[in-house]
Amino acid sequence: MKRIAILLAMVAVILSGSLAGQEPPKDPFANVLFPPELVMQHRRAIDLQRDQRDAITEAIQELQSHVVSLQWELLDQTQALVEVLAGPRADEGTVLDKIDAVLAAEARIKRSQMTLLVRIKNILTPQQQDRLSELRGAGSEDLLESAGGRR
């Protein structure tokens, strides 16, 4: 069990790019998209209408139900990769196939999160977007993380 935990940690390090000692890049979408938490926090300041709130709530619920199944898939793909890596030797082709499956699952999660953020942006009026940008101030958030699920 300890061996699997170590392998999972190694995979996480590889996937995060931490081996190069690089800081994660700043979120390039932070200035143009709005996480649901930001919209809800400032709903009165932007005069969020009931129909807008309901549409955002529906989009969030849709994302949450969809992402749960994607997260299960990601866990399965990650476990399959760990199993291939668990032996004393690992077939490079098989490992690469498994990492492609892990990355594809992660991409589907991120795509779902981006869908939510775009829907929220499109629900808001240009004036509400401008006001949220002002209210957000200097603090930029990691949008994909705050949209729900893993990054």
Residue ranges of domains in the chain? 34-145
Spell out the CATH class of 34-145.
mainly alpha
DSSP E strand boundaries for 54-140: none
Cα torsion through 74, 77, 79, 85, rounded to 10 = -130
pTM: 0.72
- DSSP character string of 13-38: HHHHTGGGTPPPPP-TTTTT---HHH
**Which residues are CB-contacts of 142 (< 8 A; sequence separation ≥ 6)?**
27, 30, 151
- DSSP character string of 47-77: T--HHHHHHHHHHHHHHHHHHHHHHHHHHHH
Q: How confident is the prediction along the chain (151 residues), in pLDDT tens digits per residue?
A: 555 555 455 555 555 554 555 666 677 888 899 999 999 999 999 999 999 999 999 999 999 999 999 999 999 999 999 999 999 999 999 999 999 999 999 999 999 999 999 999 999 999 999 999 999 874 444 455 555 654 4
Q: Which long-range contacts does 12-21 make (Cβ < 8 Å, 24+ apart)? A: 15/102, 15/103, 15/106
Contact 56, 142 (CB under 8 A): no
Cα 144 off chain centre by = 4
